[in-house]
Amino acid sequence: MVPDPHDRWPQRFAAWVGRWVPDAITASVVLTLLVAFIALAARNPLSKVMEAYHQGLWMLLPFTMQMTLIIILSSALGASPFLRRVIAGLARIPKTRNQVIALAFVSAGTASYLSWGLGYALLPMVAIYFAAEAEKRDIAVDFPFLFAVTYAAQALWQYGLSSSAPLLIAGRGHFLQELIGVVPLSTTIWSPAALIHEAVYGACAIGAACLLMPKHHRPISHFPDSLALTKPNNPVATETGKLSFAQRLEQSRFVNFTVCGLMVFWLVDHFFLKHLGFELNMLTSSLLFMTFLLYGSVKLFARAVERSAASSWAVIVLYHLYAGVAGLIQFTSVGERMAKVAASVSTPWTFPLITALAGSVFACFIPSSGGQWTIQGYVTVKTAMAVGVSVQRGVLALGVGDHIGNFLTPFWYAVVAGIGKVDFRVFFGYGVIFAAIWFVVGVLVFTFAPC
């Protein structure tokens, strides 16, 4: 099919961004040098700057491991045959184009709300299975656009059960606890404002998608590599013949379900005996339990995790580099000065907009919500206190800006496109539309709704 000339601007935009936005590790080093220069220019002694950097560098070790496990376990969970069958079953439900769009959005959005890692792992499969089933039924669905719709649904994780900043500040021992204490999730992701935002954004995004689906659609048969992913995977070969004791243990369901039982007891102890709340350790434990359960044996679990581990290498390094930047901001005068400047131009009514805009700029260089909170969290909460709004409003408003970076830069597009075996440039441009919806809804909700 000859490309429409009007469809070429997304490619130009992606190429322009690619020329100016370095990879995440390079960007973190540039930020480190920039903030260190600002700290020295603000008359912090060199010894204090170096001490602040080293003080921050390793303060996120537990958080880094939690994020690594979320990525690995979510990816392994998303590749399980059970979830593939669930998606295939959902894809057979819609009877019209708008139903395909709406259910694909809801399916990808639900997975993302449960876990951002699971959302990234499953949204390509949702787009592929739904587009393949639509083509079978002669329903006119543009596959690249549907891919963009499921990518837009992934934004729901920002205020879902794996929202990085709210989960981090809801647990004891986080790096801002002395300043803001422990902030319960009932006042952040389960606040009226966050719930309203999820509902309004979802409705607006689905409505816009139904209106904007291209008339000259490109069915998934035009993307054979993507279509091939709907074919059943070859099952993992298991040893035959006489098995050793170790091999029997590896393939034993009893061993696997013993681990699941231990995780269930941990969750019961966490919620019902200790009366603790929802936080990162609970999320990670739930993912571990579900992954063990769906694979049925330790051997299959281990192979799935091994295949998924490569996706986490960057986070293992990145979070410590971000923590070093956070140390420079928090343990020198830089953070206080930045907060004073932000407070001087903010009012209770403009604070969400300014916070979202600042978050959007940083997000273009930091493709990680946890990393962005590490760097901007201190300034955000200090500014909120100075302006006279709740810390929760600052956390939620920063999430608006954080996801703008996911919409406007190629980092996560390339990740999900790689899973879906498609060039991310064919659906990248549509993200600008959903970014505008996300930003407008977010600023309005977190300005006026209670939180």
Reported as a single tens digit per residue, the pLDDT across 370-395 is: 778 888 899 999 999 999 999 999 99
> Structurally, how many domains does the chain consist of?
1
- Assigned domain for 152 exists: yes
How far is residue 306 from each of residues 133, 202, 302, 309, 311, measured CA to CA in Å? 31, 35, 6, 5, 10
- Residue 187 DSSP symbol: G
Identify whether 298 is part of a domain: no
State the amino acid at position 15 in one-letter form: A
Mean pLDDT, residues 164-178 taken together: 88
Q: To 10 degrees, what angle do helices 24-41 and 313-330 make?
A: 10
Q: Is residue 66 part of a domain?
A: yes
Q: Is residue 4 domain-resident? A: no
Lowest-pLDDT choice from 252-261, 307-316, 352-361 = 307-316
Residue 414 to residue 433: CA distance in whole angstroms:
18
Per-residue model confidence (pLDDT) at position 194: 97
User: Residue 156: which domain range?
Assistant: 23-231+310-448
pLDDT of residue 47: 95
Using left for φ > 0, alpha for ψ between -120 and 50, and beta otherwise, residue 115 falls in beta
- In angstroms, the CA 104 to CA 286 distance is 25
Q: Tell me, yes or no, whether 85 lies in a domain.
A: yes
* 13: confidence class by pLDDT, cuts 50, 70, 90: low
Q: Which residue has the tokens 């946890």?
A: 370
- Nearest 5°: the CA angle 178, 188, 332 is 35
Q: Is residue 255 part of a domain?
A: no
Angle at 51 between CA 48 and CA 55, to 5 degrees: 135
Q: Give the CA count within 13 Å in the CB-facing half-sphere of 403.
A: 30
pLDDT at 78: 81
Across the range 339-352, mean pLDDT stands at: 89
CA distances from 7 to 2, 212, 414, 426 (A): 11, 13, 19, 9
Question: What is the pTM for the complete model shown?
Answer: 0.79
Please tell me the predicted confidence (pLDDT) of residue 354: 94
Spatial CA neighbour of 391 closest among 176, 238, 200, 243: 176
Quick one: average pLDDT of 281-291? 87
| Rounded (to 5) percent helix, strand, coil in the chain | 75, 0, 25
Residue pair 339/379 in contact by the 8 Å Cβ criterion: yes
Distance between CA 361 and CA 256 in Å, rounded? 45
Look at residue 293 and tell me if it is in a domain. no
Check whether 127 has a pLDDT greater than 50.
Answer: yes
Q: Which two tokens stand for residue 382?
A: 């200090």
Q: Is residue 12 part of a domain?
A: no
> Is residue 59 scored above 80 in pLDDT?
yes
